[in-house]
Structure 1
Amino acid sequence: MGYLFSKLWSLFNQQEHKIIVVGLDNAGKTTILYQFLMNEVVHTSPTIGSNVEEFQWKKQRFLMWDIGGQDSLRASWHTYYQNTDFLIMVIDSTDRERLHVSKTEMYQMLAHDDLKKAGLLVFANKQDLEGCMSSAEISQQLNLQCIRDHGWHLQSCCALTGEGLYQGLEWICKSLEK
């Protein structure tokens, strides 16, 4: 009887983990969100504001916020930070010209008090495209090895096929076990 009660309790008392997905416009944030939710590509338009979805993976519940990445929307990103467990930064691996903007935005977020305890997952998206930056190049350009006060992981991915996305979620789940 106690075993049955504990199983039922764990179903109803499962903690939800908040994840915010950020990145510059056209990086693939919304495509990644809906790959996790439906395991398929959904035709999207630029996100104005945010999309939020709840899903479960490997006995973990996630509330994932996909926040619009246009320049005019980035100033409001901080309104989503409270109670965030993980920050997913999506990088368009073909967008060499704006990588420095992504780097600046990422370090500003990591310095925010509401994100002091948040883990960082960097998705190097669009790895299927010719001429894209490698994950090693992105890591070097973002200076990831200097991040000491946040757990972080860089994962190559392709949002359209889903390749690499679940390896990123696996890192998040392992981080939750620690």
Structure 2
Amino acid sequence: MHTWDIGGQERIRALWRHYFSGTDALIYVVDSADQSRLPDAKNELLKVISDKELAGCYIAVLANKQDLPNALTPPELIDQMGLKELSSHNWCVIPTVAINGTGLTEALSWISTNALS
């Protein structure tokens, strides 16, 4: 199983496609407290998963920074990113707090359960 955690600044994103071949799952981390960047996060996700090498891969969207008072909840993030319209991939949104690891076990468990079945 190949799983990639994609992230990074815009200048690095062009390199992502070199890692797509054989990818079974994608972990996509979203700063759920920064609503001004959500349109960019949505566009980048849609661009990435349109690559033929990622056809049908599983997508775990990590709604990070759930510890902040202005963070979007997973249902709000689903609506803002239009994930309900994403029928080409099996996906989930998992609330996370990276600084203490909340949600990471759940994310990896979801990937393991789905991508290995």
TM range, normalised to the smaller chain?
over 0.9
Match of residue 113 from structure 2 = 174
Counterpart of 1:160 (choices 99, 106, 109) is 99
Match of residue 3 from structure 2 = 19
AA partner of residue 41 (structure 2) = S
Counterpart of 1:130 (choices 56, 69, 73) is 69
Match of residue 42 from structure 2 = 103
Match of residue 29 from structure 2 = 90
Match of residue 115 from structure 1 = 54
AA partner of residue 22 (structure 1) = I
TM-score of the two chains, using structure 2 as the length reference: 0.94
For 1:119 and 1:111, locate their aligned partners in 2 and report how far apart those are by CA, in whole Å: 13
For 1:97 and 1:146, locate their aligned partners in 2 and report how far apart those are by CA, in whole Å: 21
Which of 1 and 2 has higher RCO (CA within 8 Å, sep 6+)? 2
Give the deviation of 1:87 after TM superposition. Answer: 0.6
List per-residue Cα deviations over 1:110-165 (Å, max 9, x = no partner): 11000003110000001011211111111101111111111111100111111111
AA partner of residue 32 (structure 2) = S
User: Is the contact between residue 24 and residue 58 of structure 2 (CA under 8 Å) also seen in structure 1?
Assistant: yes
Aligned identity (percent) is 33
1:42-53 matches, within 5 Å, as none
Decide which structure has the larger Cα Rg and report it.
1
Q: Secondary structure at the match of 1:122?
A: strand
Give the deviation of 1:89 after TM superposition. Answer: 0.5
TM-score of the two chains, using structure 1 as the length reference: 0.63
Give the deviation of 1:20 after TM superposition. Answer: 1.0
Q: Secondary structure at the match of 1:103?
A: helix
For 2:88 and 2:3, locate their aligned partners in 1 and report how far apart those are by CA, in whole Å: 18
What CA RMSD, in Å, does the superposition of the two structures yield over aligned residues?
1.1
For 1:92 and 1:22, locate their aligned partners in 2 and report how far apart those are by CA, in whole Å: 14
Q: 4+ residue runs of structure 1 moved beyond 3 angstroms?
A: none
Q: What 5-or-longer segments of structure 1 have no aligned partner? A: 1-16, 24-68
2:59 paired with 1:75? no
Give the deviation of 1:176 after TM superposition. Answer: 2.9
